[in-house]
Amino acid sequence: MRLFMLILHFVGLALSVGTGFAYLFLGLSTRKMDKDEARELFIKTLPIQKMSHIGLFLLIVSGGYLMTPYWDSLTQNQYLLAKLVCVIGIVGLVWAMGSFAKEAKKEDGVEAMQKIERLGKITLPLGLIIVVLAVLTFH
């Protein structure tokens, strides 16, 4: 069961961090477009966020199981504690981005799109920090 959960964990990681990379490159490609064209592309690519939600779900479910032997020593392992705090942070950011995505679909969702873009600039590095902390914890 542990091996299956570890596989699910890595699939969730690929989905959620992959979403951050996808939005990074989409953002870079829209810089050369006019504002209306960029907005239209942004709205059409919002369903990619579902990939991040699925990835986070897999990460949380499998991570909860994989953490079973570590809960007792959580306060003694600063990397693991920092990783869990970052996971809570990224869940909050993804939740906020999802609610801004609903606003962005409205006629004048430019402000919501800008908020998503700003939060997206935080989620990708935070996801990479979580990966580094996991490696430092479980090497």
- Domain regions of the chain by residue span: 2-138
**CA–CA separation, 98 and 112 (whole Å):** 10
Q: Are 52 and 16 in contact (CB under 8 A)?
A: yes
User: pLDDT tens digits for the chain (139 residues)?
Assistant: 989 999 999 999 889 888 888 877 877 777 788 878 877 888 888 888 888 889 999 999 999 999 888 888 888 889 999 999 999 998 898 888 888 888 877 767 778 877 887 888 888 889 889 999 989 988 7
pTM to 2 decimal places: 0.82
**CA–CA separation, 31 and 137 (whole Å):** 38
**CA–CA separation, 50 and 103 (whole Å):** 16
- Give the dihedral sign, CA 16/5/62/132: negative
Structure token digits, residue 25: 């490159």
